[in-house]
Amino acid sequence: MVKYCPRCGAPNDDDANFCVKCGYRFPVQQTPQAPPPSGQLQQPYSSKQKSGQDVKTRAAVVTIALIVIFLVGFIVWFATSNQQYSETIVNGELSVNPGYYEYYSFEVPSDATNPQLTISFTASGGSGNDIYVYVMDSTDFINWQNGHSAYTIYNSGKVTTASTTVYLPGPGTYYIVFDNTFSWISTKTVSANIVLQYSAPIYAGLSKARAEFAPLA
């Protein structure tokens, strides 16, 4: 093909860059690029996509953190929260023969705090209608049984009736004694209600104090 110079009108080859007569420089024609094959178009990067993914990631992290905080808080609460427990040691009547005593043993759990006994009793029989009631720990009870000096956490004195609260020093084994050794001929009938109360962690519910009646033969 032939192309003509726009300056002098001279004919030139179609692929000539300059006019052969006047030296005019022909403009360079841009060859259009073919589009990429179908199915291979590159998708433009979407900042909205990235932003959405970041939001979901942050939400998942926050949710997990809240769950962990809740679980840790629940465990701490469960391990440290105290509950009030109550155990009936004596509830009813017992007979104490002259020259003898009867006793109840019970145990305050190792994780108990602020243990206390609520004691209420009334005695009848003989000329005085009276009885001695003691509360002792295991060591002093053994000493007392053997006629040695012993410390009593509670000593009612020789009375007909009493109602009081006895605060125990802490966990351990204790004894409640109904003493009629001072009487030689009269059996004493005692109506008593004695309840042990203490605070302990919630998980300690299965280790509540156990009462056991152990009369002396």
Three-state SS string over the chain comes to CEEECCCCCCEEECCCCECCCCCCECCCCCCCCCCCCCCCCCCCCCHHHHHHHHHHHHHHHHHHHHHHHHHHHHHHHHHHCEEEEEEEEEEEEEEECCCCEEEEEEEECCCCEEEEEEEEEEEECCCCCCEEEEEEEHHHHHHHHCCCCCCCCEECCCECEEEEEEECCCCEEEEEEEECCCCCCCCEEEEEEEEEEEEEEHHHHHHCCCEEECCCC
Q: Over its length of 217 residues, how does the chain's per-residue pLDDT go in tens digits? A: 787 888 888 888 888 888 888 888 878 766 556 665 655 555 555 555 566 677 778 777 888 888 888 777 656 555 556 689 999 999 999 999 999 999 999 999 999 999 999 999 999 999 999 999 999 999 999 999 999 999 999 999 999 999 999 999 999 999 999 999 999 999 999 999 999 999 988 755 544 433 334 443 3
The dihedral sign for the CA sequence 170, 174, 178, 180: negative
Q: Supply 43's token pair.
A: 């998708």
- By the 10 Å C-beta count (0-12 exposed, 13-18 middle, 19+ buried), 176 is classed as buried
- Which residue segments constitute the domains of the chain, with CATH numbers given? 82-213 (2.60.120.680)
The neighbouring-strand residues paired with 198 are 85
The label of the residue with tokens 């020093």 reads: 169
Which pLDDT score, from 0 to 100, does residue 67 have?
85
Residues 109, 132: Cα–Cα separation, whole Å: 27
Which pLDDT score, from 0 to 100, does residue 215 have?
43
84: left (phi over 0), alpha (psi -120 to 50) or beta: beta
The dihedral sign for the CA sequence 182, 190, 178, 187: positive
